[in-house]
Every structure is written in C-alpha cells, then in structure tokens.
Structure 1
Amino acid sequence: MYKVLLFGSGALGSVYAWRLQETGAAEITAVCRGNYETVVQNGFQITSSLFKNDVFRPSRVVRSVSEAAADGTEFDYILVCTKALPNRGDNSGLIAAAVTSQTTIVLIQNGIGIEDPFHARYPGVNVISAVAYIDVAQPEGGVIEHGGNCALVMGPVGEGQRAEKLAEVWENGGVSCSVLENVQAVRWLKLAWNASFNTVAVASGGNNTRIMVDDPECCRLIYNIMIEVYRLGEAATGAPLPVMRGIAGPKELLATAQAPGVVVMPSMLMDFLAKRPLEHEVILGNPIQIARELGVAVPHMETVYALLRMIEKQYLD
C-alpha cells in the first residue's frame, strides 16, 4: 500500500489521485485549501466520460503539508499538481515538511525547467517529471468534470523502479501511463501547444481556440510559435522531437484545433479570466532563456512573452 500525498487538489490532481486510490494500492492524503470544507463533507464529485461517475473520498483530507506530516507519516510519493509559478516564488519549499529520503516527488506540471528548483532543494531525492494529457475542469469547489483523456508520460527511467511501479498502479487504474528515458522531448511537444494556444488566447484579448484558428492572422501567429518551439526543442534535446498520437509537427498539431466542432478553452485563458497568476515563465520565459543560450531565434515567443508579463501586471501588481 503506497502512501501518496496530493499537493494541488484541483481538477487535474484530484483525477490522477482518484485513479491511484481506486486500485486499492494507494492511500491518498489530499492537501485542500479553498475546497477543504467541501471535500471533507462531500468528497470530490466526479463526472467522467472515460470512467464511471463517482465520489472520490481521499483517505485523509488536510489543510496543509505540515498537518499531513505531523503524525510522522512517511510518504512514498508526493504528487505536485500545482501551477509552476517561479515568477511568484519558489514553490519547491511548500512540500518540505513531508519530504524524506524515501520520498519520490512526482511533478505533474506544465513547462520547461520545472524540475530544477526541486533538484536544488532536495539533493538525493528522486524527482519524476510527468507530462499530463487530460481534459478536466473544476467549475466549483470539489466538483470535477472529466472528459475522455487521461494519460501520463513520466521519466526519466534513471530514477529507478519507483517510476515503473507507480506507472503500473496508474495503468491498473485506467490511466494510460508510460515511462520514457527522454521525457524532456515530450515536454517540448506539450509546449508546442501551451506556448502557442495558451499564451495567444490571453494576449489576443481572451479567445478560445475556435476563434483564434478562424482568424487568419492569429492562426498564422500560433503556427509560427509552434515552429519556433519545435526548432528550439530539437536544439535543446539534440534530436528530432518524437511523433505522438499521429502528430509529426506543427501542421498536424494545428490541424487538431482546426477540425470542425473543436473548441478548447486553454487553461491559461481560464487563469486570466479568474485573474490568477499566469504560467508564462515556465511556458515562455524559461524556453526563451534556453533559446538565447543556444542562439536560436524565437521572435514570436519573445513578443507574446513581453505582452503576457504586462497583462498580468495590470491585475496582480
């Protein structure tokens, strides 16, 4: 029985934790803040197109990481499912009370360079990087709406058997989960979508994917950003980015959003509408820094990054 701490009990984190606990091989302790009272009383009310509708009640619900560790529990895994916001502070320290030499930290977050603060703060502790493919939302506290996707790509395999064992449990829970040696290549693939659609959705004034791809100039901007991400990702990893889900490059990726009837509300757009901090540093800032170090031109990414920083300042600073 694995003891698992969920830090970031939002839509994404609750679904992945739910699938672990459903197997009977994991006990979930969920750190809940804004939704604490609702989850304690009612659990997570989950509707899912992929799985059965259910009420997910974690083994324990606590208000803080310190409370979770106060009774001496040693966690095998800590799932970090919060937004990666280095521009708002180093979030690696928020789980410190629960980290031991036996802990494996699993980062289910967007962006490039998210692992660096955790490696620096917890030398010798296993850190698994995980890329999520899931469509899920939490329209109100404790209410989760999950679609038909639930997959994870984890790595590196150099972290030992812990990644493989966790992947096996997730597979048993219905999550498509694979462990790859070069998970960073998959991070760059995911970035091709996040750095284009997520960012332009906000920089363009607040638009969903349908509106953006239907405008020729906006669609061209999105495509140019995708090209830059692919070029930069290949320079950073030293190899062509892999083909996944039949997507071999920017044209195929763009086509997924241009298909009739497809309308996506990017996560950064939802953060913008709710006036929450934006993940522009790990989605654009860190990649741009890598581009400058490697001498790769990314003018479209740089332009959108500058605009996002100014947009965020208008309502946060």
Structure 2
Amino acid sequence: MPLNILIVGAGAIGAFYASRLALVAGTSVSVICRSNYKAVKANGFQVTSPQYGDYTFTPANTFANPEEARQSQIQWDYIVVSTKALPDVSDDSAILEGLVSDKTAIVLIQNGLGVEDPYAKRFPQAAICSAVTIATCAQPEHGQIKHNRWTRINSGPYLPHLDTGGTSDTDSRVIEKNNTFIALLKEGGIKDAEAYTHAKLQLVRWHKIAINASMNPTSVFILCSPNNLMSQDPEVQRHLKGVMTEILETAPKILGQPMPKDFASPDQIIRSTLKNTSGSKPSMAIDWEAGKRMEIEVILGNPLRIARERGYEMPRLQSLYAMVRMAQEIRDQNKGKLVAIIEISPHLGQQEHQLQQRWLQSQELPIQQYPIVQMRDGSFRPQMMSAPLHPTQNEIAQLQQQRQERQQQQLIHNIAPRQMQQQQRQWQQQRQQQQPPNIGAPGELQQYPMSHSPNNLLYHEYRHQQQQQQQQQSNRHQINQQVGELMSQIHRSPPSSTGRETPLTILHTSTPTVQSTSNQGSPISPPGTTTQGSLNSAINISGQVNELRSRLYATAVSRIPISDRLLRAYYRHDNHPYGRLENSIPDPIPPLHNEAQLRQLADHLALTKQEAERDEKERVQEAIRAAEAARAAEVARAAQAAHDAQVARAVEAARVAQAATIERERIKRRIEELRKDSSSNYRHLLEKNELIPLKESETPDKYLMMLLANREMPLDKDSELALAIMFAKDYWEDYAEWPRDVERYAGYERARRAERMAGNLA
C-alpha cells in the first residue's frame, strides 16, 4: 500500500515540500487548498527552482476543504500542517478532526513557539513532529510556486514530558515517525533535511524566534521596510541586536541547556541580512499591508508567557508585543465604521479637507473606507488613514478631458514657437505705434478699455452683449417717439397761401436756408409774407432731425459686434486673421441716411468676420496636421532605434554565448587534467596531512573536494571552483559540511557566484 501524505495549507512552503515528497516511490501526496483550489484542481502546481529546475506537481487528490478529505475515507500516514498559526483567531487543530488515526503522524511546519500544544491536547495518541525550515518560497499566482533559495528543514519529535524528566512508552514510535519523514525528504531531493532531538529542535525554534521577533514587528513600525533596509540603519541595527540578544540569553535558562556554538550570533545574522538584496519583507509586514491578521501570539506572545512562567522577563520583547498587538486591534476596530471620499490631490491635508466637506454635504458611503472621528467641537468627521485616494468615474472623465485639451493646446503652441513669438512682437510694436480711431459711440472706448489679448476682447463682447441689445431697443423706441412728435409738429404748421415751401420741404434740405424751385427750375426768393417765427421753427426742427439721424447711425454702428470694432482699431495689418476688417469699412465712414444701409454695413462686417474665423480654423487644423506628421516621424525614428538596439543586443548575446561555450570546454579539460593527476597527488596529501584513506574507486572524484577542504587545490578562477562544487554535490553527498568549507576557502561572495555557475554547468 502507498504511504498516504496529506498537506493541510498548500501554500508556497507546503506545496514545495509536497512536490519533493511526491517524487518518492510508494508515496501518494494529497493537498487541501483554499484560494488556489480551482487553479490547482485544473493544472496542478507549476514549480520553478534554481536547484531543481521547472516541473509540474499534480497531487493525487485536491480537496477544497477538510470535509472533502474526511469523505474520501483515506487513512493518512502523515498530515503535514503548513498553515499560518493564529491561536488568537481560531484553533487550527479542530480542522483535523476525523482525519487523524492511531497510525497518523502530524508534522507541524509553522512559525513560533507553542504551536504543538493544541494538537497534543486534541490528539494525545498521535505522533507529533515539530519542524523548522529556512526555505524561501513564494506563490505569485495561484498554482505558481517559486522556490528562491535554501531547502533546509529540521524536524524533531515533540516530547514535552522530557523537559520535566518524564518518559513515555510512545517515545520510540514518535522518533521513528520523525526519522522516516526526514528520510522521505532526503529521497525526494532535500539533502539538507536533518532529524533533531526534542531538546535541540526547541533550541532551533527559539533561535528562529530571535530573528522573527526582532525583524517582524520592527518592520511594521517603520512603514513595512525590507530586512536589508532595516539592518543598514545604525540605531535600528542596535535595536535588532538588543532584541535578539535578549531572547538568545533567556532561551538557555528556560530550556536548561546552552545554545549550540554553530548557531549564528546576532552579529552574524545582521551581516547575513545585509547581504540579502532581494528586497524581501518579514511576514508580519506583508500581512499588515494586506490587512490580514499577523502571527503575533506565536512569535511574540507565547515566548513572553513561557518566560514569565519560569520567572524571566524580556522587556524589549514585551514592548514590541504590546505595541503591535494594540495597533492590530485599532485597525480591526476601525474596519466597521468607515466612509469614503474620491478626490485627487497631491496633498493629504487637502484631501482630508475635501473628505470632510463631502461628508458634511451628503454623508454617503461611496467606495474607499475611512474612520469617522469626533472633532474638538463635538462634530464627527471622516479622517484619512492612507493615500492615494480613488477618483470617481465623472472625475476621471473630467480629468481626461482637461488633459486632452492641454495636450492639444501644447501641440498647437509647439508647432513653430519662434515664428509665433516673432509675430507677437510685431503685433505689439504696431499696437504701440498706432492709435485706435474712435469709431464707436461717444465715450464707448473709454468705458470699455481694450486689452492686447483677443480673448479679452471676446470676453468684453460676451460681457456687454445683453446690455447692448437692451440699449439698442431703448434707443430705437426713443427715436421713434421723437420722430413722431416732430412729424406731428410739422403737420400742425399753417399751410402757405401762396403755394410756397412749408417746413415739411425744409426737412429734406442739407442747410437751414429756405429754398424753393419753380416749374422752370429758377430760384424764387421767399416773399416777405413768410413770418420769421415759422422760419425759426423750421430751422429748429431740421436741426433736431439731423441730431436724430446721427443718433440713429451711432445705434446702427453699435449693432456691429464690439470685437470687430476693437479689432479694427488695434489690428491694422494684413498678417492678423482679422486684419482685413480695416479695409471693410471706409474711413471716414460716410453718412448713412436709412436703416437699410446701416444693416447692410453690419451684415458685410459680420460676413468678413466669419471668413476670418474660417481662415483661422483652417490654420489651426493645418498646424495640427503638421504636428501629427512630426509626431509620426518621431515614432518611426524611435522604432528604428529600438530595432537597432535589439539587433545589437542579439549580437552581444550570441558573442557571450560563444564565449561561455569556449569557457565551459576549457573548464572540462581542466577538470579532466586534475582527475588524471589525482593518484599521485592523493598519495602525497595522505602522507602530508594524514588523511583517512578513501576507497580507490572513489579517489578521483572525492579527491577534488578533499583538496578544496584542505585549501590545497589551485583554484584560481570561479569557474574551476564551480566545477569542484558540482562534483562535490554529485559524488560527496554524505559530507554535510562541504558548503561551509567552500565559504571558508573562497569567501561568501565568490562561493555564491561559483554555486550559481555550478548550477548552470549542471
């Protein structure tokens, strides 16, 4: 029968180790998934690893929840739990109800201290193994597992009665289950998996707690900064070392045994963190950014409680625990009473003000959430907790329209800036040299002072358009009344008994002189019978009619748009689109005797303005077309440059590949030379260093690593060191200390370069 293994929490770590266990003959690995269930059910796990390559892992069974696993009626030999430990939220041991039998071993791959207690209390007859790993894995997408670095995992039996000197009949069974699990991992390719005793594994957990308890909450407090960035600051570095030292000094007192010397010290941990430039963040920082619950209790709370039970205090750790726990509680409490605002502003204070104004106006709850706080005056306002804000659809449309208008204006003004500046200078000089003629109504130019900008002229027209229309109607009505009164006076004048001219005929003369023409066309002098009062009355009426005629002309001229008259006064040249208006009106304007002529003049000026506006639009369209053509040419040049760069990169890549091939062949020849000369050198090394003799069949390959460990091999280049590492991996698996020997021999950076090169050569 196959060995049935169930992975509970098939995230990045769980899926990675499950994929290695599935390679062992006679094993059947199943998984319980949550958010990635659909992707895994359809396509399995796609694993990428720098050490194992790219491959696909398809579980024997993929369950959506524990209930489906219970319904399968499978007897599980191992249940591997790799979920996040959140005892303050739920008891994860309850999900294993109905899955654990007498022969089942529970393997806990979780962070923190005290994670084993809930399982030991719920399943007292089960074998519980506690595991700690330093493997770095991620799941960027559902079903996509990316193994970044390291594979080491340490597992040991959980036997808490040994801490008090007790024994149990089931200890041997738990130890056997733990050793079998480590053997399965090694057979699956995890060569640095190691079985520890209960006491040593608890030391490993405390050592990892020192790292997690210092890095995780500190990152949350300083805006979720990466590990490397925190370690670079001197004060933060001192704080991290202080927390680590406090935990590593307290742990031996609790466990009753010292920390192993091969465990990294706080200084070594900081130095190693400084070398990690991947930008990775602690798990608490990632959970805080995602708004999820953090592993506060198992990483911070449980170590504090365990230490207090034995009479020890850790003040640095207690401060971190109290502050991060309170921060999480406040964040969770504010999730229930939140409102939203959608404003775009580069300043957070301005956004908060706009948020409060919208809340006062509508008190609605749109999209993004913000807490409501009570102000000093007793009122309630929404308070912003983060930025940026999200705009509404209408605001997005308005911003896009404004952006398009700005781009179009910028496009027009960038066509020929030098020509436009030169033309503007010419216009300004001509305006300074010329004085505008007074062609409007008396005092009109003084009442509406002109600006040098055509936009201001059009603004004046829009501003006074309604006032002009009302004034025109009033003037027309007043003139009609006065003309009617004058005509009444004329008709009331006494008729001439001699047939001579009356005041009615005098109205049509251009001078106040009273004339008459006989049938023969000869002038006739007025007889003495014409009274002087009638003549004075006729002259008075004629002057009033001429004055009304002048006012009628002024009224008709005022009907012409004010922008035409002002432009005529200021833009007296042919280059300006409205320059032709100068020649549209004769100067001086002849007297017009009827409204039809005035209307004809106004229509002529309006038509001239329409033609000028049409020419201006055509000029703008031509400028836009020229700009688009220039932009298309620029895009074509950029595309050609990108193509040339791509060709150059391809040529360079081919050259590098050829050089790599030549170097690889040279390395192979070098290692063959070393292997051919291995026998004599090996005997010399035995005589010199008194090494333990190896089997003759193993001498050529193991000799290379022996030379490396004793610093006798003349490895001058990283490529030769990489080849030695490759042979060490293939032929010296039982020597567990060879990676450290490589670091001591060549240094950390050179060893890492050689290790990557060895992976490429393999």
1:284 corresponds to 2:292: no
- Decide which of 202, 219, 227 is 2:237's aligned counterpart: 219
Q: How far off its partner does 1:156 sit?
A: 2.2
Gap change, CA 1:295 and 1:204, over 3 Å in 2: farther
Q: Which residue of 1 aligns with 2:227?
A: 209
Q: What is the match of residue 59 of structure 1?
A: 60
SS at match of 1:160: helix
1:262 offset after TM fit, Å?
A: 5.8
List per-residue Cα deviations over 1:105-155 (Å, max 9, x = no partner).
Answer: 000001111100000011111100001110111112111111121121111
Does 2:172 align with 1:168?
A: no
Q: What SS does the corresponding residue of 1:82 show, helix, strand or coil?
A: coil
Q: How does 1:7-156 map to 2 (within 5 A)?
A: 7-156=8-157
CA contact (8 A) 1:191 1:283 kept: yes
Going from structure 1 to structure 2, the CA distance change for 1:199 and 1:25 (only over 3 Å counts) comes to farther
The DSSP-based 3-state class of the residue aligned with 2:88 is helix
Tell me how far apart the structure 1 counterparts of residues 244 and 90 of structure 2 sit (CA, whole Å): 28
CA distance in 2 between counterparts of 1:295 and 1:279 reads 24
Q: Quick one: distance in 1 between partners of 2:26 and 2:285?
A: 36
Q: C-alpha displacement at 1:57, in angstroms?
A: 1.0
Q: Say if 1:242 and 1:248, in contact at 8 Å, map to a contact too.
A: no
Gaps of 5+ in 2: 159-170, 334-762
Contact 2:228 2:276 (C-alpha < 8 Å) held by counterparts? no
Amino acid at match of 2:120: H
Instruction: Identify unmatched segments of 5+ residues in structure 1.
Output: none
**Which residue of structure 2 aligns with residue 258 of structure 1?**
274
* Distance in 2 separating the partners of 1:307 and 1:283: 14
Deviation at 1:261, TM superposition (A): 3.5
Aligned-partner residue type, residue 172 of structure 1: E
Report the equivalent of 1:3.
4
Match of 1:191 in 2: 209
2-structure distance, mates of 1:260, 1:274: 23
Alpha-carbon separation, structure 2, partners of 1:221 and 1:100: 47
Moved more, 248-257 or 71-80: 248-257
Partners of 1:99 and 1:200 lie apart in 2 by 38
Q: Quick one: structure 1 residues 92 and 232, their matched pair in 2 at CA, closer, same or farther if it must change by over 3 Å?
A: same
Cα distance in 1 for partners of 2:96, 2:332 equals 25
- Structure 1 residue 63, shift from structure 2 partner: 0.8
Give the structure with the higher percent strand: 1
Separation of aligned partners in 2, 1:199 and 1:14: 27
Q: Is the 8 A contact 1:9 1:32 kept in 2?
A: yes
- Are positions 1:300 and 2:301 aligned together? no
Instruction: State the 1:248 CA deviation.
Output: 3.6
Give the drift of 1:171.
0.4
Instruction: Give me the whole-angstrom Cα distance separating, in 2, the residues matched to 1:271 and 1:243.
Output: 34
Task: Give the distance between the partners of 2:31 and 2:229, measured in 1 at CA.
Answer: 37
CA contact (8 A) 2:82 2:109 kept: yes
Aligned with residue 237 of structure 1, among 246, 255, 259: 255
Is the 8 Å Cα contact of residues 203 and 307 (structure 1) preserved in structure 2? Answer: no
Secondary structure of 2:189's aligned partner: coil
Q: Is the 8 A contact 1:195 1:284 kept in 2?
A: yes
CA distance in 1, matches of 2:26, 2:318: 45
State the alpha-carbon separation in 2 of the partners of residues 26 and 232 from structure 1.
Answer: 42
Contact 1:186 1:242 in 2 (8 A): no
Taking the aligned partners of 2:120 and 2:322, their CA distance within structure 1 comes to 28
TM-superposed CA distance for 1:293, in Å, is: 2.0
Q: 2 CA distance for matches of 1:264 and 1:36?
A: 26
How many angstroms apart in 1 are the aligned matches of 2:285 and 2:3? 36
Distance in 2 (alpha carbons) for counterparts of 1:279 and 1:242: 27
Does residue 178 in structure 1 map to residue 194 in structure 2? Answer: yes
Q: Conserved in 2, the CA contact under 8 Å of 1:130 and 1:154?
A: yes
Q: What amino acid is the match of 2:187?
A: N
Cα pair 1:5 1:30 within 8 Å, conserved: yes
Looking at CA atoms only, which structure, 1 or 2, has the larger radius of gyration?
A: 2
Q: Which residue is 1:309 aligned to?
A: 325
1:213–1:219: 8 Å Cα contact kept in structure 2? yes
Deviation at 1:255, TM superposition (A): 1.7
Q: Is the 8 A contact 2:156 2:175 kept in 1?
A: no
Native 8 Å contact 1:128 1:156 kept in 2: yes
Distance in 2 of aligned mates of 1:250 and 1:17:
32
Higher relative contact order (CA 8 A, sep 6+): 1
CA shift digits 1:8-39 (9 cap, x unpaired): 11001000111100123321111011111011
For residues 87 and 286 of structure 2, the distance between their equivalents in structure 1, rounded to whole angstroms, comes to 19
8 A Cα contact 1:50 1:149, kept in partner: no
Name the aligned partner's letter for residue 198 of structure 1. N
Name the SS for the 2:307 alignment partner.
Answer: helix
CA offset digits 1:41-60 (Å, max 9, x no partner): 12111111121111111111
1:157-208 Cα distance to aligned partner (Å, 9 max, x none): 8413111111111001111211111211111111111111122111322111
What is the CA distance between 1:260 and its match in structure 2? 6.8
Counterpart CA distance in 2 for 1:293 and 1:254 is 30
Change (3 A) 1:101 1:252: same
2:280 & 2:72 partners in 1: Cα distance?
43
What code does the residue aligned with 2:185 have?
W
Contact persistence 1:188–1:233 (CA under 8 A): yes
